[in-house]
C-alpha cells in the first residue's frame, strides 16, 4: 500500500485508516502486530493504541491466533457504502449512455478481496436469453470479464493462491488454472478482459479496470456472443476506455 501524505493533527486517525486498508487487502489470512508495524512504518506503541481503539469500536477483531481481521462494524460500513456507492453516482450516466447507444448491458463492479461485487447495471435493448450478473452478486475474480482486468498486475503465485481458495467456483465456470492465466495474459496484451460462453452460455463479456495502474473497480459490457466478434469488441473497448479515462 502506498504511504499517504501525513496531515498535521491527523496522524492518529490516519494511522487507524492505514491499518484498516491493510486489513482490507489481507483480511482472509489476517495480519499480526509485527506485520502491521512494518507495513505502517509506525512505532509499536502507536500501532497498538490504534488497534486497541479499532477493536473497541468493532472495526477490527483479533483471532485466537493473535491475527487481526476486519470486524463487524467494518462490514456494516462497507454495506452502507454499497447501498449508495459513489462509483455508481459517478458512472451511472455514462453506463446509461453506452447501454443505449450499443444495445448491450453495461456494468460497474468493485473488488472485495478475492471477489468482484456487481454494484449496478444498465440493461441494453439487445434481447438476452441467459441470465446476467445482477447488482449485489459476488463472484470470484476472473470469472467475469471486468474482474479479469483486476488480475492483470498480479504475480502468477498470487493468481494460483486465489484459484486454489475458490477452485470449485472456477471449475463451475469452466475455468482451470491454465485457462485463467491465458485470460489474464490477454488483458496484459490488449488492455481488456474477455469471457466467452463461460459464466453464461451464449454470452460474451468485455471489461476494463478503473483506478489507473492499480485498478480497484471495473466497467464492463455483455451481449450475445453471436454479435460480439473481434471488430465489435474493439468498438466496445473504445467505449469502455473512454469511461475509464
Structural domains in the chain, CATH included, are 11-76 (1.10.10.10), 84-244 (3.30.450.40)
HEC-encoded secondary structure of 67-109: CEEECHHHHHHHHHHHHCCHHHHHHHHHHHHHHHHHCCEEEEE
Side-chain-side CA neighbours of 82 within 13 Å: the count stands at 21
Phi, psi of 72 (to 5 degrees): -65, -40
- Computed over every residue of the chain, the mean pLDDT equals 87
Give the tens place of pLDDT for each residue, 152-179: 989 899 999 999 989 999 998 889 999 9
Instruction: For residue 130, give the 3-state DSSP assignment.
Output: coil
Greater confidence (84 vs 142) lies with: 142
The grid cell for 9 is 493533527
Give the separation between CA 242 and CA 134, rounded to whole angstroms.
24
The grid cell for 192 is 481488456
CB 178 within 8 A of CB 159: no
Question: To the nearest 10°, the Cα dihedral for 162, 165, 167, 172?
Answer: -90
DSSP 195: E
Give the tens place of pLDDT for each residue, 174-231: 899 999 999 999 999 999 999 988 767 789 999 999 887 778 899 999 999 999 999 9
User: Which H or E run includes 183?
Assistant: helix 177-190
pLDDT of residue 5: 53
Instruction: For residue 63, give the 3-state DSSP assignment.
Output: coil
Amino acid at each position: 500500500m502506498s504511504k499517504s501524505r501525513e496531515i498535521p493533527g491527523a496522524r492518529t486517525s490516519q494511522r487507524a485508516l492505514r491499518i484498516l486498508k491493510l486489513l482490507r487487502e489481507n483480511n482472509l489470512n489476517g495480519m499480526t502486530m509485527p506485520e502491521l508495524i512494518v507495513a505502517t512504518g509506525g512505532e509499536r506503541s502507536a500501532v497498538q493504541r490504534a488497534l486497541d481503539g479499532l477493536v473497541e469500536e468493532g472495526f477490527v477483531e483479533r483471532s485466537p491466533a493473535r491475527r487481526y481481521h476486519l470486524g463487524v462494524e467494518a462490514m456494516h460500513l462497507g454495506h452502507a457504502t454499497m447501498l449508495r456507492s459513489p462509483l455508481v453516482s459517478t458512472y451511472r450516466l455514462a453506463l446509461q449512455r453506452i447501454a443505449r447507444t450499443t444495445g448491450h448491458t453495461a456494468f460497474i463492479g468493485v473488488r472485495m478481496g478475492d471477489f468482484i461485487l456487481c454494484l449496478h447495471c444498465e440493461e441494453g435493448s439487445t434481447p438476452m436469453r441467459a441470465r446476467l450478473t445482477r447488482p449485489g452478486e459476488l463472484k470470484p475474480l476472473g470469472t467475469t470479464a471486468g474482474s479479469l482486468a483486476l488480475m492483470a498486475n498480479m504475480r502468477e503465485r498470487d493468481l494460483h493462491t486465489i484459484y486454489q481458495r475458490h477452485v470449485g467456483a472456477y471449475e463451475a465456470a469452466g475455468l482451470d488454472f491454465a485457462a485463467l492465466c491465458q485470460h489474464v495474459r490477454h488483458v496484459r496484451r490488449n488492455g481488456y478482459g474477455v469471457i466467452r460462453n463461460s459464466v453464461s452460455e451464449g454470452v460474451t463479456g468485455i471489461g476494463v479496470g478503473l483506478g489507473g495502474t492499480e485498478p480497484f473497480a471495473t466497467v464492463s459490457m455483455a451481449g450475445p456472443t453471436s454479435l460480439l466478434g473481434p471488430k465489435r469488441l474493439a468498438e466496445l473497448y473504445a467505449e469502455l476506455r473512454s469511461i475509464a479515462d
